Structure 1
Amino acid sequence: MNAFELLVDDMRNVLGPSSGLDSNDVDVQDLTHLMERYASNPEEWARYYWPDDKMAYTRNLVDEGNGKANLVSSITGRGKSDTLAQTLTPASAQLVLVWSPGQASHIHDHGNAHCLMKILKGNLTETRYGFPDGDKEKPMEMTSERVLKDNSVAYMADDLGLHSMSNQTSDFVVSLHLYTPPNVARHGCHIFNPRTGEKTHTKCGNYSEYGRKL
């Protein structure tokens, strides 16, 4: 078992039978420290590296966890669309996302779930927004922006607002995501029009599962 596999295993064990990061028996700092201690090695997560420059990013299932958390790896590409419709993510998982150069996610919420993310390769820009003000149509208000670099760890939840992740570099970027509880995997999330604030419900699907393309 390599260090990446140990990280995935340790994350699953910390969550155990709990209902996720909001449970009294789970400390978000424990999970954060596990991610921070892992020094990313591309050889260790290569089987989850599925770039596709026709898509903004790919979602690659690593582990189903305890049935209540999702770990996903993501890769971002040059494609126009970040809609992944091949299949729904299982009820709990860790995922690797592979982000295409020059591409971004929609502004989105997290379905009342918690998200921990570690950058495995490259830099991602996180742009945060406030929730739209009622039914008024107006541009989304940006509240902050930061660049997450190699091996950095970040936390996001709906009580912190909305965000968009973008790869503003010329190479693919890879990130590891833990979602708990797996509300987005089960029910999808909302994406927001940056010009009007209008929200639309969308489903999320996987590009690969356990190292195999779907």
Structure 2
Amino acid sequence: MLSTTLSPSLPLDKGFSPSYHHFKERYNLESLVQDVKKAPRRDGCDWIDYFHNDTSKNYTRNAIENINHKANILLLVWNPGKGSPIHDHANAHCIMKVLAGQLHETVYHSPDSNSGEEKPLEIKSSNTFGMNEVTYISDDIGLHRVHNPSDKHVAVSLHHYGYNIFNEETGSASFVPQAHSVSRS
């Protein structure tokens, strides 16, 4: 069962990347973060039922839950020395927690699509996250690449991808704050 809390003693402002604070300021995140913290911890291995690794790929995405077609919870297994390409999040928000091993994230400034000029991407930040550490990324922050720096061990991370919903009358956007624990029979 995915019911163990994720670092329950960790204050919201400790152990999170600077980009998380950007997200927290923009959205009311108390309930979302508390729900995401209900994710599994390594010591309980609650996530092992969702663990599948395809060693022929850089990483394997294991779906845990689709929440009302507005958010997804995935368990990603990262093969040693492998990672993602540089990518955006298609207007989604992503909270990532490392469950096992370490993951290195490099965040890039988004290219100016209006300039018509091609030039190398600029690095905005670069951080390594260990077990039970959490980070956040969205297209407002930039592009990113994630990789497993270990050449011997897989890394495992939990991802909550969410999207904005829009009020038809006001046009205002709000984040879908509804991640919850999942049980598997």
Question: Secondary structure, in 3 states, of the residue corresponding to 1:107?
Answer: coil
Task: Give yes or no for the alignment of 1:160 onto 2:141.
Answer: yes
Aligned twin of 1:69? 71
How many residue pairs were aligned? 144
The 2-side partners of 1:153 and 1:171 are apart by 20
Report runs of 4+ in structure 1 exceeding 6 Å deviation: none
Aligned twin of 1:173? 155
- 2:124 pairs, out of 134, 143, 148, with 143
TM-score, normalised relative to structure 2 = 0.69
The answer to whether the Cα contact below 8 Å between 1:123 and 1:149 also exists between their aligned partners in 2 is: yes
Aligned twin of 1:55? 57
Aligned twin of 1:45? 47
Deviation, 1:132, is 1.5
Question: Secondary structure, in 3 states, of the residue corresponding to 1:114?
Answer: strand
Unaligned runs of 5+ in 2: 7-22, 165-182
**Deviations for 1:47-72, whole angstroms, at most 9, x for unmatched residues?**
211112210001100012232111xx
Counterpart of 2:29 in structure 1: which amino acid? V
Question: Secondary structure, in 3 states, of the residue corresponding to 1:180?
Answer: strand
The answer to whether the Cα contact below 8 Å between 1:36 and 1:151 also exists between their aligned partners in 2 is: no
Aligned twin of 1:116? 95
The 2-side partners of 1:123 and 1:158 are apart by 23
TM-score, normalised relative to structure 1 = 0.60
Aligned twin of 1:3? 3
Counterpart of 2:41 in structure 1: which amino acid? S
The answer to whether the Cα contact below 8 Å between 2:59 and 2:76 also exists between their aligned partners in 1 is: yes
Deviation, 1:37, is 6.0
Deviation, 1:39, is 5.7
Task: Give yes or no for the alignment of 1:131 onto 2:136.
Answer: no
Deviation, 1:38, is 4.9
The 1-side partners of 2:91 and 2:2 are apart by 33
- 1:106 pairs, out of 76, 82, 85, with 85
Unaligned runs of 5+ in 1: 8-21, 71-93, 183-209
Pairing of 1:178-193 with structure 2 (within 5 A): 178-181=160-163
The answer to whether the Cα contact below 8 Å between 2:101 and 2:156 also exists between their aligned partners in 1 is: yes
The answer to whether the Cα contact below 8 Å between 2:2 and 2:39 also exists between their aligned partners in 1 is: no
The 2-side partners of 1:106 and 1:96 are apart by 18
The answer to whether the Cα contact below 8 Å between 2:2 and 2:40 also exists between their aligned partners in 1 is: no
